[in-house]
Amino acid sequence: MSVASKLNLYIDGSWLFKACAPERALASRLEFPDRALRLNFSNLVGLLLRHVREHGGACDTAGDAYLVTSIFRIPDDVDQWAEERDDVTTADIENVRHSVAAREAFVASALRSGFREDGVYRPHLKGWMIQRLRERRFQEKQVDTTVVALLVSAAITRPQDYHVIVTGDADVLPAIKVAYPAYSQNVFVATTHPDQLRAEARQTSFALADFEYRIPPVFLDEHVRDLVEGAHVYVCGHCGKVFARSLPIPLEAKPCCKPCHDKRT
């Protein structure tokens, strides 16, 4: 008797959060690409389970689901930093609060869909970090290595299961290959198509193509319709962008996004 297999998920949450941000890979498929995509994590799990089955895997339930990311703990005296430090402004503090709140909402949404909280780090925000955050030079530690470590330890102990890594960083793949040589049988990647204008991204697509999988990579930007939060989600019949409405569009009407509708009237 064969044991029913599960799909375990390991998400680089810092990468996925950015992929959902305005104008980035996933939000750029939306009606209003200048707004962040609100990701429905249950739909993401469903999409990845369907992908396994479409490629011959007998698997219809999720196992362990990790969202690995970090969210700053903001100290109580943070508002005084702008007065105390030359390298911190009140606008900086405002921006940090805003981005922490956005990440909190993202993580809370994942937890409601059954993701585990123990992949979420909560480092203390320090004054010296602010300038680096403003200049986008702040390096988040641990996320990519944690995702790999969780996946490999599960793959070794549960080889009958499937394991998906959700990441934009193909650099993690050689590590998986070394630690778990049987990866091609039951490990696969979910990512987005790389931005061909960025040299580092071209390398990513090369690295992905370099690997053999029984289950091919999932490109999430091709499935935005299935990922976005909303009761009634449509693809615009004119421009192909995705949009959600609280009320259904009548069946006989061709779905039309707001920008296309405004152009045509």
Q: Give the footprint of Zn ion on this chain (CB under 5 A).
A: 236, 238-239, 257, 260
Closer to Zn ion by Cβ: residue 202 or 261: 261
Separation in Å, CA 178 to CA 113, 158, 189, 212? 32, 17, 16, 14
Helix, strand, coil percent values for the chain (each to nearest 5): 45, 20, 40
113 CB neighbour count, 10 Å cutoff? 16
Residue 84, φ and ψ in degrees, nearest 5: -80, -25
Closest by CA position to 214, among listed 51, 60, 64 = 51
Closer to Zn ion by Cβ: residue 105 or 239: 239
Closer to Zn ion by Cβ: residue 31 or 144: 31
Closer to Zn ion by Cβ: residue 147 or 236: 236
Q: How far is the CB of 221 from Zn ion (least distance, A)?
A: 17
The residue assigned the tokens 């930093």 is 81
Q: How far is the CB of 50 from Zn ion (least distance, A)?
A: 26
Q: How far is the CB of 33 from Zn ion (least distance, A)?
A: 12
Closer to Zn ion by Cβ: residue 120 or 260: 260
Q: How far is the CB of 236 from Zn ion (least distance, A)?
A: 3
Closest by CA position to 196, among listed 209, 205, 208, 188 = 205
Q: How far is the CB of 251 from Zn ion (least distance, A)?
A: 19
Q: How far is the CB of 222 from Zn ion (least distance, A)?
A: 18
* Pairwise CA distance, residues 60 & 164, whole Å: 14
Q: How far is the CB of 241 from Zn ion (least distance, A)?
A: 5
* Strand, coil or helix: 136: coil
DSSP β-bridge partners for residue 164: 9, 188
Closest by CA position to 14, among listed 149, 110, 132, 91 = 110
Residue 224, φ and ψ in degrees, nearest 5: -60, -35
Closer to Zn ion by Cβ: residue 52 or 257: 257
Question: What region does 114 belong to: left with phi over 0, alpha with psi -120 to 50, or beta?
Answer: left
Closer to Zn ion by Cβ: residue 193 or 238: 238
